[in-house]
Amino acid sequence: MIKHINNKKIKSFLKEIVEFNNFNKKTVKFQDEDITYFINEYWTSKQRACSNLHEISYRACFKPQLPEFFIQRLTHKGHRVYDPFMGRGTTPIQSALMGRQAAGSDINPLSLLLTRPRINPPKIEEIKFRLDSLDLAGKTAAELREDLLPFFHIKTLNQICFLRQFLLETTPITGKVDPINDWIRMVAVSRLTGHSPGFFSTYTLPPNQAVSIESQIKINKKRNQIAEEKDIGSLIYKKSKFLLKNYTPIIANKSDLFISEAYNLTHLKDNSIDLVVTSPPFLNIVNYKLDNWMRNWFAGVNENINISHIGNLNEWTQMIHIVIKELARVIKPGGFLAFEVGEVKGGKYNLEKNVWHCMNNLPFDRLCIIINQQNFTKTANCWGISNNERGVNTNRIVVAQKT
């Protein structure tokens, strides 16, 4: 039996998990293969129950309430919270909003571009002044990517191409960047394609992925639609106002964001992280490269980036093992790891057990697996996945402490 470094904190945390009753549901506790499971609705399934800053679409991202739950219970203000698969930046941004030191990384540079501007955003007045100065509707792009016309009106596409070229010339992906241009790029990237008037495109699939040009031609034909002209400067400003609504500036908060493989965190010192809250790609459920092809084009991200797209369970498990081994190096003794996965392929795989066993012979005391079940019915449904035939209906989080 491993001795807990902070036994009092662990007892308090587990006691709260067992007694949790915020949504008038009792926690179900059971053992499976000597693993302790706790099942309940630990955070709300309601949309927009958090800061507007999080409202940037991205495939397969978890709700801000997930990192908030663990940050609140396992850290204090000033502690350093990290996510090596930061995606749209949910964990770093929530950490910053809660007065922690935000840190994160991802192999996809697009992740950095979506996260960095929202850690310390510019003022809405500054954004408005810059957009007015650019006068996007009055400019002519040097080069027009005409194959994108199935998505955009030609005048809208002209604005997009002009803004893209301006940002590529003035605002690099890494290094010292203009925070206002960085913000405008982040919003523009998130507004390229979608299914409502607030996006630059005509109607297409949901905003967290871009269909192929051929697929968009079929959508246009089926819906008998043509793209309408839009003022992208106005749309960027409108989205910016929404994101910054009720935002309180973060004072003296250090953040560290990087582009890196999750198993090679050379930018982090040994024993430097208080809490990791993360979620890796779930096998080959999401193809981030294909889904983000238009975003990557706009941002100037190299198409040859090595984004994990692993379909074999054994290969996926091996990847997770080396990631956790690296996390064991950077987490402080007494620090925590909350590693989220889900049930995939109609419940055929419950990946939390793979994660649990990946910690064998590593300096972690595995505390429990927490299952957050949004539509909680009964244990049989949650454990047997009989109501999860489509998508991922539960969050399954392996919680461990570095010894």
> Cα(205)–Cα(196) distance, rounded to whole angstroms?
10
- The three-point CA angle 82-86-91 to 5° equals 55
pTM: 0.90
User: What digits encode the pLDDT tens for the residues 162-194?
Assistant: 999 999 999 999 988 999 999 999 999 999 999
Residues 6+ apart with CB under 8 A from 82: 91, 103, 104, 105, 268, 273, 275, 276, 278, 330
Q: What is the pLDDT of residues 22-36, one digit of tens each?
A: 888 899 999 998 999
R_g (Cα) of the chain, nearest Å: 22
- Sorted by sequence, the CB contacts under 8 Å of residue 103 that are 6+ apart come out as 80, 81, 82, 83, 92, 95, 255, 256, 257, 268, 273
* DSSP string computed for 29-57: EEEETTEEEEEE--S---TT-S-GGG---
Mean pLDDT score, 33-41: 94
Q: Domains in the chain, start-ordered, CATH in brackets?
A: 7-109+257-294+308-402 (3.40.50.150), 124-243 (no CATH)
Quick check: 118 and 58 in contact, CB under 8 A?
Answer: no
Strands (E), 201-268: 255-259
Would you say residue 197 has pLDDT above 90?
yes
342: Cβ contacts below 8 Å, ≥ 6 apart:
282, 351, 392, 394, 395, 396
Q: Which of 279, 343, 373, 211 is nearest to 61 (CA)?
A: 279
Q: What is the pLDDT of residue 307?
A: 67
